[in-house]
Structure 1
């Protein structure tokens, strides 16, 4: 039997998934968790084969959980099961080490097959997610951020205003705004918060 842990912050979702898998003798649900931190504790305790993991959860999100599982040497395959299929969700999860990525509207039998495949170590992607990844691979490489753009984003990530950033770097506010606009274009975002988040996700900014 394939041993499962279900991680989702909605009890109704966990109940539904547990009932589905309990009705099939190929699977056994060893535990549940409502956030990433609980998922780490449950995984340490029961050592599942496959973890069904939501992404957007309180306390510790899914991508952070995947990274932490990998850093701890956990052998469980992680199959993301979420509502979201945006680039900002899919790519970080895959890069963090998820074995598969499915949406919550996946039919029951497809979900069962995906869990079996993930247990074998096979990559499993919903059609929508596969299309997004192919689009990412086919798109031209993005221009890297300049050193000055990185310096501006670093200060912005620390809570500095444009004026404070300009003062620290001995440049004008207009120049700061120009660097930010260039960074937005390179990162494919439209605002400061998204630029900082994208830079963190791509490992361009430290997390100290």
Structure 2
């Protein structure tokens, strides 16, 4: 059987990483906590750190235990504020979001990415897919479960508003960085341009894609195949 891309990437990560990944969860449901703890504890490459309920307890847990990955459910963080808070405070840690039905749209998931989520996986995923989301999220810094990629489209281009002017090479570069959740300052540093120049490019992207904001632009870009799934 042909090896999937995720399996190939995961194999590469295993060969190039020593030690175990430390994993924590932020959620108040005991049954979910028990299930995630069981999956993490059963994998020899992962170490269960613990769970917390709410932002204050999550910050304390991350500050005390320094996890490599923290899992958050979309239902417990509807505005992605906790996701953003944790990624800002602990920039060496990644957030893995367990996506429930209420957040299973291109725009909702784009907003999760823009607020710092680095790995997205369905909340009902089996243990293998959850472990893959954790490992590839940490090692690659950017992972979306195949089931969720389908939520980004496809749609007919005729149904997507477009000004008729194609994005420039630099605007596409900026769009790719936006999709990774990077701020204007971070994008400027990566591309070697000024912050105001980045903001100008962002405004051009929004206008050309007829998008309300950055998340809407990312969602439309996936639908138009300007970004790969």
Structure 2 residue 86 is the aligned partner of structure 1 residue 69? yes
Separation (CA, whole Å) in 2 of partners of 1:125 and 1:68 = 21
Q: 2:94 touches 2:117 (CA, 8 Å); kept in 1?
A: yes
Asked whether the equivalents of residues 63 and 96 of structure 1 are also in contact (C-alpha less than 8 Å), the reply is yes
Task: Write the distance in 2 (CA, Å) between the matches of 1:49 and 1:62.
Answer: 23
8 A contact 1:56–1:62 mirrored in 2: no
2:119 to 76, 80, 100: 100
Structure 1 gaps of 5+ residues are 144-185, 188-197, 203-208
Residue by residue, what CA displacement relative to the aligned partner does 1:29-75 show, whole Å, maximum 9, x if unpaired? 11211223322221111110011111222xx6561012112332431
1:124 is matched with 143
TM-score by length of 1: 0.60
Q: Is 116-125 or 60-69 further displaced after alignment?
A: 60-69
1:28 CA displacement: 0.7
Would the aligned equivalents of 2:26 and 2:73 in 1 still touch at CA under 8 Å? yes
Q: What aligned pairs does 1:128-207 form with structure 2 within 5 A after superposition?
A: 128-135=147-154, 140-141=160-161
User: Alignment partner of 2:97: what SS?
Assistant: strand
* Larger RCO of the pair (alpha carbons < 8 Å, separation 6+): 2
Aligned-partner Cα distance in 1 for 2:90–2:69: 14
Q: Secondary structure at the match of 2:75?
A: coil
- Residue in structure 1 matched with residue 100 of structure 2 by the alignment: 83
The size of the alignment, in residue pairs, is 148
Instruction: Name structure 2 gaps, 5 residues minimum.
Output: 1-19, 164-209, 217-229
TM-score of the aligned structures, taking structure 2 as reference length: 0.55
Question: How far does residue 17 in structure 1 lie from its aligned partner after superposition?
Answer: 0.7
Compared CA separation, residues 141 and 119, structure 1 to 2 (3 A) = same
Q: Which runs of 4+ in 1 moved over 6 A?
A: none
Structure 2 counterpart of 1:35, from 50, 54, 59 = 54
- Counterpart of 1:23? 42
- Measured after TM superposition, the shift of residue 97 of structure 1 is 1.7
